[in-house]
Structures are given as structure tokens and as C-alpha cells.
Amino acid sequence: MQSSAGPHEAGGGGNGDRGRPVGTAVFSLAAAGILILDQVSKLVVVRSLGLGQTIPVIPGLFNLVYVLNPGAAFGFLASLPDGVRNPFFILISVAAAVLIIVYHARHLRSQVLASLALGMILGGAIGNLIDRLRYGMVVDFLDFYLDRYHWPAFNVADSAISVGVGLMVLGMLVEWWRERGARRPQ
């Protein structure tokens, strides 16, 4: 059964509370699940492979590797001095986590897709933050390639952040499409 109430009016008495527990649970479970999956997978890699070691999984397409990435995504800012780079990325990660939590609590608790997306982004950000605090760099281990063309190695946290951003964009496009349709004369 569909309600004619808007996204901020859903729930008993028009206060929007009915969807909030679901959105908050999705947000929390996504963040915790990604964080656990990320840290467990990195622990397995660190304990099972030597730094720089490669294990072919699908020849010509996919390897497991153990590399440490001092930069951000795709090695961005990796050339900065350690004394600047690591504190910078730690500060950015903490600020991003706080902003995500506050934004979700204030604006998106009743929106399940946005909650899932932000939970994935938060879990990934915290996963990479833990690596920076522990190793001063991020553990990457997923290596996709075709012939001699390699995508930069990445990890579960990076994947979750990318998928989370994609889901946020998808959610915005769906909302735009709905609003566009609602403005058309019937």
C-alpha cells in the first residue's frame, strides 16, 4: 500500500518517525558490516601474503596482491611527505566520518537507500582510517587488469565508498525523476 505522504511526512501523525528506525538500522548495519569485512579481509592479506607478493586468481584479469598505499584513491597525494600526508588523511577521514554521521542523523534517517549508501561510505572511510592509524598507509589487495593495463590496487573499503557514492547518485536521479514527473500536468 502506497501513501500519498511525501518522504518527510511518512509515518504516524506526519512526524516522519516510522521510517527512521529502518533507515538508522540500515545505516548502522551497512557501516558495521563494511568495516568488519574490510578489516577481516585486510588481516587475512597481511597475515597470508608478503608485502609485494602477488597470487594470480584469474590469469589475465585478477590477482590478489599485498601493497601499502600511502596516498588516497589511486595513489592521490602519495608523494607528500609522511609528516604531512598521514595527519592530513587522518584529519580528513575523521571529519568526513563526523559529517556523514551528523548529516544522516539530521536529514536522511527515514531514507533507506541514502542510509545504505552513507553507511557504506562511512564503513569504508573508517576502515581506511584504521589502516592509516595502524600502518601509516592503507592496505590494498584487489588487483584487476587486462594484459599489461592494471587498475590501481584497491580494497573492500574503497569498493564500498565507490558503490556508496554510486547509490547516492542513483538516489538523487530517482528523486529528480519523481519530482520531474510530479510537476508534469496530468
In the residue annotation, 143 being an active-site residue is answered as no
Question: What is the DSSP secondary structure assignment for residue 107, as one 8-state letter?
Answer: I
> Taking the alpha carbons of 13, 14, 15, 20 in that order, is the dihedral positive or negative?
positive
Which pLDDT score is estimated for 75?
A: 65
Active-site annotation holder among 38, 131, 140, 143: 140
Active-site annotation holder among 38, 131, 143, 158: 158
Which pLDDT score is estimated for 74?
A: 62
Task: Give the contacts of 60 (CB within 8 A, at least 6 positions apart).
Answer: 145, 146, 147
> Taking the alpha carbons of 102, 104, 170, 166 in that order, is the dihedral positive or negative?
positive
In the chain, where the domains are located: 18-181
Spatial strand order in the sheet of 138-146 = 54-58, 62-69, 138-146, 149-150
Which pLDDT score is estimated for 81?
A: 74
> pLDDT tens-digit profile of 62-84?
999 999 998 776 667 767 777 88
State which residues of the chain have pLDDT below 50.
Answer: 1-16
In the residue annotation, 17 being an active-site residue is answered as no
Which pLDDT score is estimated for 185?
A: 67
